[in-house]
Structure 1
Amino acid sequence: MIDQVEIPEFHPYAELFLVTYLSQGLRVKGYLAIPAGEGPFPLLVYCRGGIRNVGMTRLAWVSRFVSEGYIVFAPFYRGNRGGEGREDFGGEDRHDVLDALSWLSELSQVNKSEIHLFGFSRGAIMALFAAMEFPFVKSVIVWGGVSDLALTYEERIDLRRMLKRVVGDSPQKVPEAYAWRSPIYRVDELSCPVLLVHGTKDEQVGIEHSLRLAAALKDNGKTYTCLFYEGWGHFFSAAVWEEAFSRMFQWCRGQ
């Protein structure tokens, strides 16, 4: 981390900072929330979904997570909110999580045996790849998460132009580029438990992503838990969100 600026009036029992750090030599930005007290505290890295201004980090979620006593880091990914570079949907921008984990794990306030990753939507790509690279990660939560980018291309006609531009072309033309961005093909490298949370009627990231990921985890002898919410889509009602978050943190504490 090379710079931090406190953002006032965020939470009565936590501090929030806008931080700048280096990822592959690029200045990248994100939020760092730290609970009041001496710590050390568990760490939750919140990998947002979407791309650029679509799906940007939700401060309400950062606040909810820090209220559980976690230090929360939420990278914006490169090219966003004044950061350098250009986001590329789980390509080189995965280093925005990898490089952050290198300095986050050295913070004195962080309990190094309690580092968890949370990936929402396409943020699941970032979280899963980071868990593969860092064996000290204790668990990873995949929430409405993308596991196979070629499947996203099939499902989301509205995203095909963006995917062709960012990835290089269609999965038929550059299958290796889509596979490289698809953590489902590398689940054998995971060493931590995985929690899969998904709405069964999700039309933005179909539940097939979680079903295929669960099958791959099972085939590779990995530990995983599924929380599937019948009838819900990519976003839940406030009451269902709260219930799901509570179950998620209960699961984290049990790992």
Structure 2
Amino acid sequence: MRCILSFCLVFFGHGAIQAEVLPIEAFASKPDVSNMDLSPNGDHVASIVKVTGKKKGAVVSIVNIATGKANYHLFTDNSKFVITSLEWANDDVVLVEAKFPAVRGGVPVNEWRLIQLNIHSGKSRSIVPRLMFKKFSYVPQIQSKVIDILPDEPDFILMELAGQRSGGEPSVYKMKLVTEGSGRTKVMQRAREDVYDWLTDRQNNIRIGIRRDDTSYEILEQSAERDGMRTLWSFEAFSKEEVWPMGFDVEPNILYVKALHDGRDAIFKVDLNDKALTKELVYSNDNYDVTGGLRRDIGSGRVIGVGDHYWDNDYANLKKSLDAALPDTSNYLIDFSADGNRYLVLSTSDNEPGIYLLGDRKAKSLNAIAYRYNQLTPDVLSIREDISYQARDGLNIEGYLTLPKGGEGKKLPTIIFPHGGPISHESSGFDYWSQFLANRGYAVLQMDFRGSSGYGFDFMQMGIASWGQAMQDDVEDGARWMIDNGIADPERICILGASYGGYAALMGTIKSPELYQCAISFAGVMDVEALVKSHRRFINYEIAKKQIGDDFDLLWEISPLKHVKKVNVPVLLMHGEKDRSVRYSQSEDMFDELEDEGKQVEFITLEDGDHYLSNAQNRLIVFQAIERFLAQHL
């Protein structure tokens, strides 16, 4: 039996392997525990915990490691707001980011706010005083961007806030952490024209600004040793010349950056005293882009790695010992106490949704303390197999194949499942969508079509302004690979996707009408022209046009809404009314046009639903609809 945030410290074990159809709720539920974080002194663990029963939603859990006692704060039903992340500001205060649906100028948007929670009193409040906005020309949409925690001044943090310039450029404020009364704020960096991001060094000085003018970027640096700001690098968006600052080392003039090496993102360090700004290669991967943020030694702040790769021997050896102790999972060091003794590990795999473990280096102990999904265990889940196939032009496409238990060697009803983004990628490890579908007896193919991130510059570049073209062919070629290899029953294939994947699902029925027996779209893009135009009031409008396209006649031509007459299979559309990423009207208009044409279509509206199925009840509604629809049409 799995425990949820139980400090019984019993290590995990599982029973005999068996195929078992689980309740939909086991997959459609939000994680039981997520976003676990260790306090600097190592005495408490904070996390987001799912709430069940009459009141459903989430709370922030604070567990005392010594006593095992848990306190719960900030309940939300995931409708008024959604808790998106948390981190410790100091030993007493947790910073909680929350996302609120809002409307600005008639346009549906999200607002992000930062709440400070005192773990001892349980009191919480927005970290930005409302009175502060009286001095602003408008209330900023993002009120949660922390750019520095100040260990030497534990009652303060540095935050970016826009609102004083009409262009949306942020200033940097030093904010005092208080849980009652009013706090003190101080402007540390005034907003500058077209500078939308700031970066501090390890001495907490504001050193780097990122300027953007339409689609052109400049990386700027300022120093107490010189007047004004100098340009380090300048480049166009989506170009090979991109150089992105990641963070400073302890030495104040050593800056780590991400840039291309042999066509793939790699990590370099640059001495800013070097007039030539020579980039010294620190870490690269021969096959994939390097991803993830910088990893630091907690005590000294020095850079020790990136993502899950460590070049520091001490941390590399710890990671090696973890992998030896837990050989069947991928094991991620997610947090350390300030003295480096206690640490948190997330252990996960294709068929292990995730185990949080607490390690103690002095005690030489490692114990499971929580499971991300209490009802899902490896004995009932499927393996996601790494696969690859050749697109029609010879390009290698990688992906994942998930088969139902006992389905090997059979022609199976199949789900083709392109990802959203489209500049994103599938990741190895647990995926609750594919596991749900496999548990219902379907083979699931997820592919990283051209334009996906992670495979180098050239591969990603193939997806710029290329919706509905070769990217779509890659999805079709995956379906045909499934048929050619005897995995898919050619008479029982459905295409399913969310966001861009929902677009690909409907375009699949238009471009390859003979291939699919049905299509499912959650929050899908149906009108690409309208999607791009919806960015007109936002500062990223030029970036959106460059990424997706600015030929509006062509964008309409590649939109599923333009081609409803060609859709001749049953369609299931689902969309949240409060989706701030892809507007609800996209699916609503598609449904109206399909219905007017007499097509077989169903539309499910998710009240208070967003783009990410943050509400557990909406997630359940979506999965119930998918199960019913697939059972009917496959």
- TM-score using structure 2 length: 0.36
Aligned to 1:4: none
Cα distance in 2 for residues equivalent to 1:68 and 1:203: 31
- The 2-side partners of 1:247 and 1:94 are apart by 25
For 1:10, the equivalent position in structure 2 comes to: 350
Within the alignment, does 1:87 sit opposite 2:458 as a pair? no
Measured after TM superposition, the shift of residue 221 of structure 1 is 1.7
Task: Tell me the distance in 2 between the aligned counterparts of 1:42 and 1:107.
Answer: 14
Distance of aligned partners of 1:41 and 1:166 in 2 relative to their CA distance in 1, 3 Å threshold = same
Give the aligned residue type for 2:621.
E
2:418 aligns with 47
Alignment of 1:148-187 (within 5 A): 148-156=527-535, 157=538, 160-169=541-550, 174-187=551-564
1:200 alignment partner, one of 564, 577, 583: 577
Query: What is the DSSP-based 3-state SS (H/G/I as helix, E as strand, rest coil) of the residue aligned with 1:184?
Result: helix
In structure 1, C-alpha distance between the alignment counterparts of 2:394 and 2:436, rounded to whole Å: 31
CA contact (8 A) 2:412 2:488 kept: yes
Relative to structure 2, which stretch is displaced further, 229-238 or 79-88? 79-88
CA 1:154 to 1:135, structure 2 compared with 1: closer, same or farther past 3 Å?
same
Are the equivalent residues in 2 in contact too, given 1:125–1:181 (CA < 8 A)?
A: no
Equivalent-residue separation in structure 2 for 1:162 and 1:102 (angstroms): 34
| Alpha-carbon distance between aligned partners in 2 of 1:67 and 1:116, rounded to the nearest angstrom | 16
TM-score calculated relative to the size of structure 1: 0.86
Quote the Cα distance in structure 1 between the aligned partners of 2:508 and 2:562: 14
2:519 aligned residue: 140
- 1:137 is displaced (CA, Å) by 1.0
Write the distance in 2 (CA, Å) between the matches of 1:144 and 1:218: 18
**Aligned: 1:75 with 2:444:** no
The CA distance in 2 between the partners of 1:142 and 1:195, in whole Å, is 6
Q: Which runs of 5+ in 2 are unaligned?
A: 1-327, 330-348, 352-378
Q: Which has the higher helix share?
A: 1
Give the C-alpha shift of residue 127 in structure 1: 1.2
CA-to-aligned-CA distance 1:1-22 (integer Å, 9 cap, x gap): xxxxxx9852344231222222
Is the contact between residue 167 and residue 177 of structure 1 (CA under 8 Å) also seen in structure 2? no
Q: Distance in 2 between matches of 1:62 and 1:159?
A: 33
Task: Describe the shift of the 1:74–1:15 C-alpha distance in structure 2 as closer, same or farther (beyond 3 A).
Answer: same
Q: State the distance in 2 between where 1:82 and 1:69 align.
A: 31
Identity within the alignment, %: 23
Equivalent-residue separation in structure 2 for 1:63 and 1:87 (angstroms): 28
Alpha carbons of structure 1 residues 35 and 81: separation in structure 2 relative to 1, 3 Å: farther
User: What's the offset of the Cα at 1:246?
Assistant: 1.9
C-alpha deviation, 1:99, in angstroms: 1.4
| C-alpha displacement of 1:159 | 5.1
- The structure-2 alpha-carbon separation of the partners of 1:210 and 1:176, relative to structure 1 and needing over 3 Å to count, comes to same
The amino acid across from 1:33 in the alignment is T
The number of equivalent residue pairs is 244
Q: Residue 126 of structure 1 aligns with which residue? A: 504
Q: Which residue matches 1:29?
A: 398
Q: In 2, are the aligned partners of 1:153 and 1:159 still within 8 Å (CA)?
A: no
Residues of 2 paired with 1:193 and 1:163: CA distance?
A: 32
The farther-off stretch of 187-196 and 235-244 is 235-244
Q: What CA distance in whole angstroms lies between the structure 1 residues aligned with 2:558 and 2:522? A: 17
TM-superposed CA distance for 1:158, in Å, is 5.6
1:151-173 CA-partner distances (Å, limit 9, x unpaired): 1112233653333223442xxxx
| 8 Å CA contact retained: 1:43, 1:115 | yes
Distance 2:627 2:543 in 1: 34
Q: Deviations over 1:44-89 (max 9, x none)?
A: 1112111323x75682322222222111011122153337623235
SS in 2 for 1:201: coil
Structure 1 letter corresponding to 2:443: I
Give the 3 Å change call, closer, same or farther, for CA 60–162 of structure 1 in structure 2: farther
Structure-1 separation of matches of 2:540 and 2:567: 29
| Superposition deviation, residue 214 in structure 1 | 0.8
- Greater share of residues in strand: 2
State the alpha-carbon separation in 1 of the partners of residues 500 and 493 from structure 2: 20
Amino acid at match of 1:81: G
Report if aligned partners of 1:44, 1:118 keep a CA contact under 8 Å in 2.
yes
Using a 3 Å threshold, how does the CA distance of structure 1 residues 243 and 134 change in structure 2: closer, same or farther? same
Q: Structure 1's 161 and 61: CA in aligned 2 closer, same or farther, altered over 3 A?
A: farther
Partners of 1:76 and 1:162 lie apart in 2 by 22
Larger Rg, first or second structure (1 or 2)? 2
Over aligned residue pairs, what C-alpha RMSD do you find?
2.3
The letter for the 1-side match of 2:463 is: E
1:225 maps to which of 577, 602, 622: 602
Measure, in 1, the Cα distance between the counterparts of 2:454 and 2:437. 22
Q: Which runs of 4+ in 1 moved over 6 A?
A: none
What are the Cα deviations for residues 211-247 of structure 1, in whole angstroms up to 9, with x where unaligned? Answer: 1101211222211001111111112223431332122
What are structure 1's unaligned runs of at least 5 residues? Answer: 1-6
1:252 and 2:633 equivalent? Answer: no
Of 483, 486, 489, the residue aligned with 1:111 is: 489
| Distance in 2 (alpha carbons) for counterparts of 1:159 and 1:128 | 27
Contact 2:399 2:426 in 1 (8 A): no
